[in-house]
Amino acid sequence: MDHAIMNHRDCEEKDIIVNDSRGFGLTHYCLAERLMQVEYSKIIKETKETSVVHQVYTSETLIYMLEGGFRGFHNYSVKELLDEWSQEEKNFYEMYDNNSLPWDVFEDDPIITNEEDVKTSA
């Protein structure tokens, strides 16, 4: 199967496409990585909640993604990525501030540079 038709990315991965609410310039790649963390967290949370209530593991987010043939955030157009980010930025930063992201942020995420600056100035 040719996955090229699924790729709607209309810029280079390293192009900065938005400054977030904290002033960080985010590349297409970095933004896609952040959104993956938010979606993964939703899936895990939904799975845990439904297993407690129904003794079954399910996730509406995962079902939606699988039904629709989710092509991955890295293949989104800039507009698609920005639309998704406008809905999820708050969730990302809540998890970041609470140290509850499912894995470390992408190594080229500018938030890491900010963390390093804070550590060296302390």
| Per-residue confidence (pLDDT) for residue 9, from 0 to 100 | 75
Residue 112 lies in a domain: no
**Region 64-89: what's the mean pLDDT?**
87
Q: Which residue has the higher pLDDT, 14 or 68?
A: 14
Is position 113 within any domain? no
Cα–Cα distance list, 27 to 10, 14, 19, 64, 65 (Å) = 12, 5, 9, 26, 23
pLDDT at 54 exceeding the cut of 80: no
The answer as to whether 99 is a domain residue is no
Mean pLDDT, to the nearest integer, of 98-116? 89
Residue 52 lies in a domain: yes
What single string gives the DSSP state of each residue in 13-82? TTSEEEE-TTS-EEEHHHHHHHHHHHHHHHHHHHHHHHHHHHSS---HHHHHHHHTT---GGGS-HHHHH
Q: Residue 28's CB: how many other CB atoms inside 10 A?
A: 24
Domain count, the chain: 1
pLDDT value at residue 32: 94
Q: How confident is the model at residue 64 (pLDDT cuts 50, 70, 90)?
A: confident
